[in-house]
Amino acid sequence: MAVFGNPFTANVERKITKEELIQAIRMDIAGELEAIYIYDAHIQATDDEFTKKVLGDIRDEEKAHVGELMTLLRYLDPKEAEHFEEGVQEVSEMMQEPGIQANPRSTVGSLLKE
């Protein structure tokens, strides 16, 4: 969550290392996930359909940002990308047991269309 008391809170006085950049990208992902959570809470808290539509659109843009940042993280840290892939494979195997016909890389939206 943003800290508005000091407008320079996020400034860094030097160029950061690759390891620090990876940490920063993880924080950026956390910020996007927090934004998604907050927009969803506000959507659930109102009956105003136009507001729901606008906030839903913004929320979905944040989801795209998560995808962009995850792709960037995979680029910056291929070893971490291997761990992500392990997780995809584990869930893929778990889905096969009860015969769930879903691609673990599917989005919620694409699952709804299936």
- Footprint on this chain of Fe ion (rule: CB under 5 A): 32, 62, 65
| Rounded least distance, CB 62 to Fe ion, Å | 4
- Indicate the residue whose CB is closest to Fe ion: 65
DSSP 29-93: HHHHHHHHHHHHHHHHT---HHHHHHHHHHHHHHHHHHHHHHHHHHHH-HHHHHHHHHHHHHHHH
In the complex, least distance from residue 35 CB atom to Fe ion, rounded to whole angstroms: 6
Of 39 and 77, which has the nearer Cβ to Fe ion? 39
Smallest CA-to-CA distance from 63 within 12, 23, 109, 13 is with 109
Identity of the residue, 32 or 77, whose beta carbon is nearer to Fe ion in the bound complex: 32
Smallest gap, in angstroms, from Cβ of residue 33 to Fe ion?
A: 10
